[in-house]
Amino acid sequence: MCAIQRARKTDAMAGDEKVPFDLASYERRVHENAQRGTCFICAIVDGEDDEHLVVWRDDVCIAFLAKFPTLRGCCLLAPLDHRTGVVDDFAEDEYAQLQRRVHRLGRAVAQAVPTERLYVLSLGSRDGNAHVHWHVAPLPPGVPYREQQYAALMHENGYLDLSRQEQSSLASRITGLLDVEPA
Ligand SMILES: [Zn+2]
């Protein structure tokens, strides 16, 4: 059974179905943006990109739903400023401010969708999507062990082609659950 078929089987059990992701086109777009010096997160911050559904913004961070989610409810949280070093570019207090927001967002996401385990991780690349960001990704119940963790997050295993309406409804639910002010 190929990875996509496995992903379909898994997600059928979890209530979602993954479809193949066009990695080659995605990589091309990301590299072209990097070469042009364009940052998709800065574009969202500046209001130049309205395709991403923003769930939260304050004077420190912005958080939005993943445009090509591998798990329902996947969000990215990033500082408003364009910084690329996940720890080196932040003083300890600045980092803690962001992590309090990751915590708050994580609690909202885990309440918004059925979540067996919440994944939080910072990836990114200097060759594309360099702006520091944290993925906040909820694993639904019922996914077999081998298809959890990295396997659940990899676009090589497909993504959830959710409608704009489904994503908008998810975004509203998450925003509605962000009810605790961080310190
Ligand atoms: Zn940026």
Q: How far is the CA of 157 from the centre of ligand 1 (A)?
A: 27
Please report the domains of the chain, with CATH numbers, ordered by start residue: 3-177 (3.30.428.10)
Neighbouring residues of 55: CB distance < 8 A, sequence distance ≥ 6:
63, 64, 65, 75, 105, 108, 171, 174, 175, 178
Separation of alpha carbons 105 and 66, rounded Å: 14
Q: How far is the CA of 83 from the centre of ligand 1 (A)?
A: 7
Q: How far is the CA of 8 from the centre of ligand 1 (A)?
A: 34
Tens of pLDDT along the chain (183 residues)?
Answer: 455 554 444 444 455 789 999 999 999 988 888 888 899 999 999 999 889 999 999 999 999 999 999 999 999 999 999 999 999 999 999 999 999 999 999 999 999 999 999 999 999 988 889 999 999 999 999 999 999 999 999 999 999 999 999 999 999 999 999 975 655
Q: How far is the CA of 48 from the centre of ligand 1 (A)?
A: 12
Q: How far is the CA of 12 from the centre of ligand 1 (A)?
A: 36
Residues, CB within 5 angstroms of ligand 1 (ion): 39, 41-42, 82, 131
Closest Cα to residue 117, out of 71, 81, 157?
71
